Each structure stands twice: as C-alpha cells, then as structure tokens.
Structure 1
Amino acid sequence: MTAPADDAPLLLVVDDEPSNVDVLRDLLEALGYRTLGAGSGDAALALARDRRPDLVLLDVMMPGMDGLEACRRLKADAATASIPVVFVTALSDARDRARALDAGGDDFLTKPFSRPVLVARIRSLLRLKAAQDQLADSYRRLRELEALKDDLTRMVVHDLKAPLTGILGSLEIVLDGDAGPLSADQRRLLGDAQERGGDLLRMVDNLLDLSRLEESAVQLSPRDLDAARLLREVAGAWSVRAEREGARVAVEAPAGLSVRADEGMVRRVLGNLIGNALRHGGAGVSVRLSAVPAEGDGVKFTVADNGPGIAEADHEFIFRKYGRRSTDSVGDLVEGAAEGVGSGLGLTFCKLAVEAHGGRIWVQSRPGEGAAFHFVLPPRPQGD
C-alpha cells in the first residue's frame, strides 16, 4: 500500500477499542489520508491541540471522558473549534443523534457504517473546512492590510498637521496687515484660502480622532454644558460662511437645558453636521439647530435643513468610514473632502464621538424633503 502524501488531510480516529481504531485507520490510509489514533477522550484532546487534525472520527461510549464531552471541549477551544467532528458509534437512537449534534458534532454515523457513505461525508466535511480555512485566512490578511493602511494614514496625517498649521499662521499674519496693505481682491482670496485651510485642518483632526475613537483611546473631558448657549456659539462660528453662501442658521433651544459632555467633541459634531447641511443643501439653504429634552433622559440635539434630502437607502451607509451617498460623484468627493463630507469622515466622526458618550445618532430624510440629523446624549457620559 502506498503511503499517504505528506500534505494529505490528517484524520484523528478516537475509540477505546484498539481494533476499531486500527480498522478505520487502515481504511482511511488506503484512501490516501494520513491518520492518528487515540484510545480516550483525554488523549484525543491532547493530540488535537498538538497536531491540529483536519477531521476527528469520534466514538461516543468511552470510559472516563466520553465522546460527547470530548466534542464539547474541542468546540469550546478556539484552537480546535473549527475541526469537524464525525461521531462513529454503535448508538442509533434519534435521541443519541440529537445529543451528539447538540454537543457540537458535525455528523453522526451508526456502526456498522457504509464505507461509501463514510467516505462521502468525510470528503464533504473536508471540503467545507478547506473553504472555511481559506475564508478565515483571507479575513486575517484583510485585517492585517487594514491595520497597515490605518497606521500609514495616521503617520501621513500627523505629518500633514505641522506644515498646514504653519500655512494658516502665515495667512493670518498677512490678513492682519502685518506684511503690508492688501487690496479687496487680495483679502478676499487670502481669506478664502484661510477658510479652506481651516476646513482641511478639521479633516486632519477628524482622521486623527477617528483612529483614537476606533481604538477607544480618546479620554473625554466632560463638563456641564448649557445647550442653548452651546448652539448659539456654534451657529455664530458658522455665520460668516452661511452669510457668504446666502444660507440661514437659526437656533431653537429652551433656557436651562443642560447636559454633561465633552464640549470640544460636541462642538465638532455640530460643526460637521452644519458643514454637511451647507455643502449639500444648495444656495440659500436654511439650517435649524435645536435641543430638547430627550425621551427618557438626556438631551436630543438636531441639525435640520430644507435641502434636497438623502435617499433612505443611504441613511445607514453615510455614517460608515469613507462611505458616500449614492448620488455623490467623484467630483463631489474631491470638492467636499476638505469639509469631511465627501471624504466620508465627518459623519463617521460624529457617530463615534456620540457613541463615546453613550449616545446615539441617526438621520431622518427623504429626497426633496430636507434632512434632519438627530443625536441624543445621556445626562452623563459613560464612565463619568
């Protein structure tokens, strides 16, 4: 008999009767498989952890640890959980089959078994395991590539921040007149460059904070915030851009409504949502910022506009990292990247920042009916 190839599947045969082990091993080796034998549940577990067989043929009735318990332990161990287990036993009652499958078994054969049936089931389970192993390996490599991409992104973005800050500082000096008088056109162009540079700096900060939020490495600095004051200040910070684009930003919030949260984070969430509304709302869009007591507890903030709206199919997708709306073109992505809108970063940051507080964010919108982004913050953030 020709010896099995070195790369042939390895099968572990477990039975307390040595003659049964020998018969099955001879049969399987004749079919080209490599085999191992074990006479007890404990021995089977040790061999499975050490040799990682591709499949286990397991008797049920054995002294000490029976086959059912051995199977449970195999499936409970991450190192051996993916190994298919076929029970080969003299038991034939339907309840025995049910107990074997409940223990984690993948198949059940009653002695005396049909050789063609045994071979067919072994081959089927080995094909399934090979496919699962390939999928697991692909997923592992994908995670490694994603980790590498994220590391490179953080390095590049971090290195971008210093020269960008220098550019903005130089623009501020020129606009303040420290380098000489400017014409109206020069002041307008330099002011626009400073504003766009600020947008880019916010996107850089979004990227850096996204990485920290994804790794739960951001430490919140919560403080008591007056909701009405916060909304008025945020709206005021956007008033110049809104006026230039013919847009309106209004605030509605009752006096005395407060929440404990990281002010910087919440300001950036509101700023990203306002930037989205101005960018996608079109000329003359109206944006409304509001805050009301949330149902149950906490505060519900809303940034709503009367723009073209968002297709319902995009509601969940737009919060994903690097996601984009189905109506966005490549040009939209490039033009909107500085605002963290088309880049798919701004809304992802909003989602992670709100969730870091223990809150939630969602959108209500239909095409032609505007969009309303809501987020609820609990009275106190998690861990405060």
Structure 2
Amino acid sequence: MSALAFLVVDDFESMRKVTSNQLMSLGHSKIFTAKDGVQALKVLHAEAIDVVISDWNMPVMHGLDLLKAIRSDAKLRLLPFIMITAEVERTRIQEAIACGVSNILVKPYSAANLESRIARALQPAPALQLGGDGDDAQAAAPAAPASAAVAPRPTILVVDDTPDNLHLLSALFKDDYKVRVASNGEKALAICHSDTPPDLVLLDIMMPGMDGFEVAQRMREHPSSEHIPVIFVTAMTDNDARLKGLSMGAVDFVTKPVDPDVLKPRVRNFLRYVELHKQLQADYDSMQEAARLREDVEHITRHDLKGSLAGVLGLVQSLAQDSRLSPDQTAQLRLTEQTTLQVLDMINLSSELYKIETGRFTLQAQPVKLAEVLSRLVEIANSTYAGKPVVVELQSDSAPEQAPPQALGDAMLCYSLFQNLIKNACEASPAQGRVLVALNGSDPLQVLIHNQGAVPVDIQERFFHKFVTHGKPGGTGLGTYSAKLLATAQGGDVALDVSDPQGTSITVTLPRVS
C-alpha cells in the first residue's frame, strides 16, 4: 500500500493539500496533484498512477467527465477512481455509479474514512459465479450494506481542566451519546487524532498549558480532526473571544455556567447533521453495492441469453440448409433466424453498447467467420427489402478454393454491427436500388458497404454521432452510432466516404486472424 501512486484532483489548492496530508499521514509518499480533469489526464498519461482521488465539481473538466474519460481509455479504464463530493442528488450519484466509479466519499471525511475507501476501491467486488451446470447464479456473500447495520451512538469529547465541569457535561449527555473526557489539550488532541475520533468536541478555552484556541487550531491543521465540529464552552463572554473562536472553525459558542436547556438542543442539532452525513455515506455505499450486484446478475443473464440464442441461431441455420425441406418450411426457419438476430441485436444494444459507452466492456476475442455472417445478413436483407425493391449483393476477393478470412472479435457483436449498417444502407437506398457488401481479405479485414443515395451534407460530419438520423420517420439515430462503437470495441473502426455524389460508402475494418 505504501508504494501506491495517487493522483489528487481538486480545483482548490487547500483541498489538494488536505487530501495529500491525509495520504501522507497514512504512510503514502508518492502523490501527484492536478487542479482539474484536463490537467489530470495529462498526469495520467505521463505517470504511472495507481489510484485517482477526485473532487466532483471543478471548472474546465469536472470529476464525472474525468471518470468517463478514464473509463473510455483502454490503458486507464481499470484505474481505481474515488469521487469526493458533497452531492446529495441521487440521480447524479447513480450516474457516477453507472459510469464505473470505484467509491464515493462524502465531504467532510477523516483520514480513516479515506483509508477505508482506498482499500475498498483496490479490492475487487464479490462476483457472482455460475453454478456447476451453468444454469444457476450464486453470489459470494457480500458484506451487508452499511445502512443495514446498527449505527453506533455518536461520540462527544468533553475537554475541560475542571473535574466538576467534566462530570457535569458527561452526566448531561451520557444517556444519549458516548462521552469521552480530556482534562487538557494534549489528551484532547491525542483522542481527536486517533483511529476513533469523536463526532463533536465541547471545548473549554481557559486551560493551563495549551488553551482551547490552540487545541482548535491544531485540530484544524491535522487531517484526522480538521472536519470535527467544535463548540466552545467557556466563561469568556467578550465578543473578541467569540469572533476568534468562530474564525477557528467553531460551530457554536456557549457561555458558562451551562444552561442544559440551551446546550442540549444545540448539541442534538449538530449531531443530527453528523448522523445525516453518515447516513448519506451509508446510502451511497448501499447504492453502489446494489448496482454491483445487479450488474453481476445482468451480466450472467445476458451471457446465458446470448449463449442460448447463439445455439438456436446455429441450429436454425443448419436446418434451413436441408434440401429436403419445403420452401414454406425454409421460409419459416429463415423468419426464426431473423427474429433471433433481432433479439441478439437488442441484447447487444441494451447491454454491451452501454458498457462500451462507459468504458467497462471487455472483449473476449475469438475467430469470427465473417463471410458466413455477411452471407446470412445479405440473404435476410434481400428477403426483408424485396418489396421496395432493393437488391443486396455480396462480393469477396477470396478465391473459391481458399478458406475465407476470419476476423478476430465477437461473432454476436459482428452480427449487430453489420446488421445495422446493411439495414441503414437498404433504407437509404432508393427503390430499384442496389446495395453492395464487399469483403476484402486484407489485414486488417475490410468490409465495404455501398448504397445509392448520398448522405446529406448537413449530417456528414455527425454521421456516427448518437441520435443523428435523416428522412426516416421513427428512426432512432442509433444504427451508425452503435456500429461505430461495436467496431472500435473489437479493435476496428468505421469510416464514411461521400466522394461519390450519387452514393454512400462505409468501410469497416476489423482485426484479422493471422
């Protein structure tokens, strides 16, 4: 742990120093800082960073955009990312969780809280595992959500050099809170700087040796105690003393002799804030734990669905090639095949596409018989758009006696990728038009899809952007956008060529099996 390299990102220099000091108090020495997300990305590309600790609200590039940039970078996407925030809007917290934040730390926080978040961010979440036959999903028992545990009573530290005052204040609060006492400033600081600091300090000012002002000042200078609220309880009544105490970060100023009817509500109000803060942190922890568990379940469900549908697809395609079947039977099988491909496309677009967008997709590359994938999609397109009519033609530069080249990627993603592009070309083609799908066995593999009809000039630069569509009532504008993402997720790319004023060409490149 001590060898870890941290990047602290915050637009306020004072907060960068506070977090850096907390890290140093935990034994870490390799600490880099940045004032915004843009500067942070420069550091990440120049230094080997193990953990990012970033504030949320920053100018230039805020924490959420930085998180998205990291998760979309192939070299950085697995980097632990701790978001520090005072955000209370649940939808924004859900967005950060969806984007793959490792942990969320609510302001204010202690060094001990930061340490626990770092440990949790570095530890992989318990993953669901398939049962012995692959049909059942079982989970390693996760820790109970923080909000489900019984919260300990808040702790008050009473600091006073007079035993009678210590006894009085302890008796006043012992039934509702855990009370600790200190008779001098040194002992008070030792308690505040320990692994179990108090939630609130009732601090006398006039004490021998180290007075209350010095105790408060040293509390604010230490990362473990700078966030602890302080109420001065003192016989000093002049306005200068009050202003000095408040300038040192005191949340209240109570004069002696203490009136219980005044002090108890004030303490209760401040500790209510402490409890709300703890509950907010617990709620965010529970949201993150639930999201991780839900993602594991959905991953296994999608994996099983895709596996089953791939089996159905292979069986249907095999049966459809049986020459003993009647034309009606073959047509029914082809309809089943088309429906299966549509369901696979829905699964890919609803799950894999989202993971690609948030930088959490992991490719399990396998050889893909691309010629077979294209052949089936062309056959389906000819059947689907026969009424327009549009003719879809498949060409390949491979000699008949040669084995067709294979792509290195994911077969189901390839189905979705080319299904969307061929469908888009057919819809954009005029009646009596022709769509060409050409497979080039170069390295990387190239697939050209050409249709008559040019992409309008006003959307050419945005052709692969999300929700961009033209001339298609009810069109979602996701076809070319998803194709671009699905290609890049497999180590390839998609490019648009509009040099032909009468037609549109799209070239897809994919890695080739060597």
TM-score, normalised by the number of residues in structure 2 = 0.40
Pick aligned residue for 1:181 from 315, 325, 333: 325
1-structure distance, mates of 2:380, 2:232: 69
Aligned to 1:201: 344
CA apart distance, 1:165: 1.2
Letter matched to residue 284 of structure 2: Y
> For the residues of structure 2 that align with 1:49 and 1:354, how far apart are their CA atoms?
53
SS state at 2:331 partner: helix
Structure 2 residue aligned with 1:303, among 468, 473, 488?
468
Indicate yes or no: 2:326 matched with 1:190. Answer: no
For residues 256-290 of structure 1, what are the alpha-carbon distances to aligned partners after superposition, in whole Å with 9 as ceiling and x for unaligned?
A: xxxxxx999899689769989x99xxxxxxx9867
Aligned to 2:155: 10
Task: Tell me the CA shift for residue 70 of structure 1.
Answer: 0.8
Amino acid in the other structure paired with 1:121: R
Determine if contact 2:156/2:201 at 8 Å carries over to the other structure: yes
**Matching residue of 1:70:** 219
C-alpha deviation, 1:177, in angstroms:
3.4
| Residue of structure 2 equivalent to 1:228 | none
Contact preservation (8 Å) 2:381, 2:422: no
Shift of 1:141: 2.4
Q: Does 1:44 align with 2:189?
A: yes
Offset at residue 198 of structure 1 (A): 1.4
Offset at 1:92? 3.9
Alpha-carbon RMSD across the aligned residues, in angstroms, is 5.5
Question: Any unmatched runs of 5+ in structure 1?
Answer: 1-6, 222-234, 249-261, 280-286, 311-317, 320-340, 357-384
In the other structure, the counterpart of 2:302 is 157
Question: Is the Cα contact below 8 Å between 2:344 and 2:416 reproduced in 1?
Answer: no
Instruction: Give me the whole-angstrom Cα distance separating, in 2, the residues matched to 1:351 and 1:43.
Output: 61
Q: Which amino acid aligns with 1:66?
A: V
Kept in 2: contact 1:57–1:87 (CA 8 A): yes
The percent identity for this pair of structures is 23
Once the two structures are superposed, the pairs formed by residues 206-285 of structure 1 within 5 Å of their partners are 206=349, 207-208=351-352, 210-211=354-355, 214=358, 216=360, 218=362, 240=382, 243=385
Aligned equivalents of 2:197 and 2:299: distance in 1?
38
Q: 1:162 to 1:263 in 2, by over 3 A?
A: closer
2:314 equivalent to 1:166: no
Whether the aligned pair in 2 keeps the contact of 1:57 and 1:85 (CA below 8 Å) is yes
- Counterpart in the other structure of 2:135: none
- 2-structure distance, mates of 1:269, 1:162: 18
Shift of 1:152: 1.5
Kindly state the Cα deviation for residue 200 of structure 1 after the two structures are TM-superposed: 2.2
Q: Which amino acid aligns with 1:176?
A: Q
In the alignment, is the contact (CA less than 8 A) between 1:8 and 1:34 conserved in 2?
yes
Summarize deviations over 1:103-153 as a string: whole Å, max 9, x none.
xx5x12154465433221111122233333333323322322221121112
Q: Which whole-Å CA distance do the structure 1 matches of 2:480 and 2:261 have between them?
A: 58
Cα 1:98–1:52, aligned 2, differ >3 Å: closer, same or farther? closer
In 1, Cα distance between the equivalents of 2:159 and 2:305?
61
Secondary structure in structure 2 of the residue aligned to 1:13: strand
More helix as a share of residues: 1
Asked whether the 8 Å contact 1:288–1:304 carries over to 2, the reply is no
Q: Which residue of 2 aligns with 1:96?
A: 244
Separation in 2 of the partners of 1:238 and 1:289? 24
Q: Which runs of 5+ in 2 are unaligned?
A: 1-151, 366-376, 391-407, 428-452, 490-514
Query: Larger deviation: 347-356 or 195-204?
Result: 347-356
Matched, 1:86 2:231: yes
Aligned pair in 2 of structure 1 residues 270, 27: CA closer, same or farther (>3 Å)? farther
Say if 2:257 is the partner of 1:108: no
Task: Specify which structure has the bigger relative contact order, considering alpha-carbon pairs within 8 angstroms and separated by 6 or more residues.
Answer: 1
Change in Cα spacing, 1:157 to 1:98, as seen in structure 2 (3 Å) is same
Do the aligned partners of 1:45 and 1:70 also contact (CA within 8 Å) in 2? no
Deviations 1:184-214 (A, max 9, x none): x333332221122112223444535645764
Q: 1:308 to 1:215 in 2, by over 3 A?
A: closer
Please give the per-residue CA displacement for 1:295-344, whole angstroms capped at 9, x wherever unaligned: xxx9868731445679xxxxxxx99xxxxxxxxxxxxxxxxxxxxx9xxx
- Tell me the residue number matched to 1:138: 283
Q: Whole-Å Cα distance in 1 between the matches of residues 469 and 421 of structure 2?
A: 9
How many residue pairs match? The answer is 275
Contact 1:172 1:194 in 2 (8 A): yes
- Distance in 2, matches of 1:274 and 1:65, equals 74
Residues 243 and 108 of structure 1: CA distance in aligned 2, closer, same or farther (over 3 Å): same
Give the 3 Å change call, closer, same or farther, for CA 355–176 of structure 1 in structure 2: closer
| Residue identity matched to 1:193 | T
- The question of 1:57 aligning with 2:202 is answered yes
One-letter code of the match for 2:217? L
Deviation of the 1:18 alpha carbon: 4.8
